[in-house]
Amino acid sequence: MGSVARITNISARSETSFDDAVRVGIARANQTLRNVSGAWVKDQKVEISDGQIVAYQVAMEVTFVLDD
């Protein structure tokens, strides 16, 4: 028997790194969605203030398998 998945777009931000932003986004997705099975980082950008990077942001597509 096959399965059906759904994809949702989320954005996550971290003041530490892109990797941390991904971890923050996945952790938050797991709090709300069941059966998260993967994510695709579609875009990355930084926020700059006074010439310094102050935040890292990622846009992701998160895939989760729907319950039977």
Residue with tokens 């986004």, as numbered in its chain: 25
Over its length of 68 residues, how does the chain's per-residue pLDDT go in tens digits? 788 999 999 999 999 999 999 999 999 999 999 999 999 999 999 999 999 999 999 999 999 999 87
* Domains of the chain with CATH codes: 5-65 (3.30.1660.10)
- Token digits of residue 40: 């695709």
Q: How many Cα neighbours within 13 Å face the side chain of 42?
A: 11
3-state secondary structure of 8: strand
Provide the whole-model pTM.
Answer: 0.88
